[in-house]
Amino acid sequence: MSIALRTLLYKEVLRFWKVGFQTVGAPVLTALLYLLVFSHVLDRHVEVYGGVSYAAFLVPGLVMMSLLQNAFSNSSSSLIQSKVTGNIVFVLLAPISYREFYAAYVLAAVIRGLVVGAGVWLVTLWFVELPYAHPLWILFFATLGGAILASLGVIAGIWADKFDQLAAFQNFVVMPLTFLSGVFYSIHSLPAFWQTVSHVNPFFYMIDGFRYGFFGQSDVSPWISALVAGGSFVALTYATLNMLARGYKLRS
């Protein structure tokens, strides 16, 4: 890792860490509220896997949802802030390649996602006891899911010229895809049509694979989920690097 890449990564991590109350504390609290409300209200109404309580089922979904949203939020909001305030120029003036640029923003966002995800997991330990059937799958899907959303965040942050465009991207793309991915339910409990729809949502595979790491059971095989998530990451990385190489909206 070059010094330039390490510095940009360090700067990006320091940026969210300095305001950790908002960037880590707030999403952990939100996830906790979801857990308290949903697990209480839905416990008897939602059918999940045999032998797994609804609250236990919900926790990995919440961890992953928070992780994904915060990874997206980190790269996208950092980029749009730097663009709007103009301080992106300091990075653009430096001898940093577009690949290093991409790597730094994605890695920092993955770290933010993992820190928030770990935070949610830690506070929910008080309420729910979880099995850990395949810890490596847990780490694999957490990291890959974070990287996918980080990449999407880079695209959104570069594309958006204003904060409301970014908010639209978040509200109309990221939120629906996360909510409809099986965070709150097993898709087997859905009508056939919605099951089919869920299967074309890449977020579903990240959450399903992540959950497999805990319970050893899931809606689809973790290998299929790994393939879909891996493929999504490769495709997004390719698209983002292409954008950066052309200097789209950054080097006009």
Partner 1 sequence: MSISDPSAALLIDGVCKRYGSLQALDHVSLTVRQGEFFGLLGPNGAGKTTLISLLAGLGRADSGVIRVMGHDVVAGYRDARRNLGVVPQELVFDPFFTVRETLRIQSGYFGLRRNDDWIDEILHHLDLHTKAEVNMRALSGGMKRRVLVAQALVHRPPVIVLDEPTAGVDVELRQGLWAFVRDLNRQGHTIVLTTHYLEEAESLCGRIAMLKQGRVIALDNTTSLLARPIHQTLRLRLRGDIALPADLRAVARATADGRVALALENADAVSACLARLHAAGVGLEEIELVRPDLEDIFISIMREAA
CB of 30 to partner 1, least distance (A): 23
Site string for partner 1, 12-31 (x = CB under 8 A): --xx--xx------------
CB of 120 to partner 1, least distance (A): 25
CB of 84 to partner 1, least distance (A): 10
Which listed residue (41, 43, 97, 176) binds partner 1 by CB under 8 A?
A: 97
215-223: long-range contacts (C-beta < 8 A, 24 or more apart)?
215/49, 215/52, 215/56, 215/57, 215/60, 215/131, 215/133, 216/131, 216/133, 216/134, 217/49, 217/52, 219/182, 219/186, 219/187, 219/188, 222/134, 222/137, 222/141
Angle between helices 54-85 and 26-42 (to 10 degrees): 150
Indicate whether 70 belongs to the interface with partner 1 (CB under 8 A): no
> In sequence order, what are the residues at sequence separation of 6 or more whose Cβ sits closer than 8 angstroms to the Cβ of residue 60?
130, 207, 210, 211, 213, 214, 215
Which listed residue (44, 50, 51, 95) binds partner 1 by CB under 8 A?
A: 95
Indicate whether 122 belongs to the interface with partner 1 (CB under 8 A): no
Measured from the CB atom, the residue of 47 and 161 that comes closer to partner 1 is 161
Indicate whether 245 belongs to the interface with partner 1 (CB under 8 A): no
Which listed residue (50, 86, 136, 191) binds partner 1 by CB under 8 A?
A: 86
Which listed residue (77, 82, 178, 186) binds partner 1 by CB under 8 A?
A: 82
User: Tell me, what amino acid is at 131?
Assistant: P
Which listed residue (90, 127, 132, 179) binds partner 1 by CB under 8 A?
A: 90
Selected range binding partner 1 among 29-37, 87-95, 127-135, 175-183, rule: CB under 8 A: 87-95
Measured from the CB atom, the residue of 16 and 214 that comes closer to partner 1 is 16
Alpha helices (runs of H) in the chain, residue ranges in sequence order = 3-18, 20, 26-42, 54-85, 88-92, 98-124, 135-159, 163-169, 175-179, 192-199, 202-215, 222-246
Measured from the CB atom, the residue of 73 and 178 that comes closer to partner 1 is 73
DSSP string, 172-241: IIIHHHHHTTTSSS-GGGS-HHHHHHHHT-HHHHHHHHHHHHHHS--SS-HHHHHHHHHHHHHHHHHHHH
Number of residues located near partner 1, criterion CB under 8 A: 28
CB of 74 to partner 1, least distance (A): 13
Indicate whether 111 belongs to the interface with partner 1 (CB under 8 A): no
Site residues for partner 1 per CB under 8 A? 2-4, 6-8, 10-11, 14-15, 18-19, 82, 85-87, 89-97, 247, 251-252
